[in-house]
Amino acid sequence: MAIALSQSKPKSSLVLWGNRLVAAVLLAGQVLVHLLATKINRRNTLEQMAVVGPDSLFIALLTATFVGMVFTIQVAREFLNFGAGSAVGGVLGLSLARELAPVLTAVVLAGRVGSAFAAEIGTMQVTEQIDALYILKTDPIDYLVIPRVIACAVMLPLLTILSFVMGMAGGLLVATNIYGIAVSVFIDSVRNFLAPWDLISAAIKGFCFGALIAIIGCSWGLTTTGGAKGVGQSTTTAVVTALLAIFIFNFFLSWVMFQGVGNAVQRGI
């Protein structure tokens, strides 16, 4: 009997996770319908934009700076052996714009903002504050969810571009001071390798990842049960699910955006 019970627990947890994932998909549809009806709480939206953007700026930029520095160390030491030091800046720019900046910035926000959304709304759910909103004839989607979705979808692309800039600055610092690559060579390489679409794709990824983080965090909060323990479980599961969604959607977005044979190296040469 004990073995049977231990085997049923993972299955029940997986079923519960699947049910909450379906609820998140349905919530995304509701958000879209409400947005088309232009139901936006401006005050809450501005407050959430301040939480997502300025309050997350330092940690996002610090992360991007050191990622750019570490990536430059790994690339420069190998490229210099092949006499391709002039391509270091371009390779760093491509990596940051297409993958590192949008994905890592989204990961930072999933841990910081997505968890906060799940914990805050989850606490409101278990303390029956959500029911009080219904009594006051206030739709929780309009009042709680949509401002957070808009805030993440708007601010994450901006944070992504800023992270790209700081990552390039960190890479430039390492390339010039440690590996002796001239500033002009580094910058020219970036200009030759990068195309406008690379930065546009970074912003698009940031927009999609921001919406995912907000919807998953809010949905897990709204489906929280079990008091304080349930809030903690929802917070943890929301972050894990958001990270998984980011990585999966990143594959499909990259597949759609960068089909065919690339010509960035040809432009750089």
Per-residue confidence of the chain (269 residues) as pLDDT tens digits?
344 444 444 457 888 888 888 999 999 999 999 888 877 888 889 999 998 989 899 999 999 999 999 999 999 888 888 888 788 999 999 999 999 999 999 999 999 999 999 999 999 998 888 888 888 888 889 889 999 999 999 999 999 999 999 999 999 999 999 988 899 999 999 999 999 999 999 999 999 999 999 999 999 999 988 888 889 888 999 999 999 999 999 999 999 988 766 655 555 55
| Summary count for the chain: helices (H), strands (E) | 13, 0
In this prediction, residue 29 carries a pLDDT of 92
Note the pTM of the prediction, 2 decimals. 0.88
- What pLDDT does 2 receive? 41
Residue 131's CB is within 10 A of a number of other CB atoms, namely 12
Handedness of CA 251, 252, 256, 257 (dihedral sign): negative
- State residue 9's pLDDT score: 47
Neighbouring CB atoms inside 10 A of 36's CB total 8
Residue keyed to tokens 């420069």: 76
pLDDT at 1: 38
Among candidate residues 13, 20, 12, 11, the one with its CA nearest the CA of residue 219: 20
Tell me the CA distances in angstroms from 246 to 21, 99, 107, 110, one per residue in order: 14, 11, 8, 9
In contact, 99 and 182? CB cutoff 8 Å: no
Report pLDDT for 267: 54
CA–CA gap between residue 234 and residue 119 (Å, rounded): 7
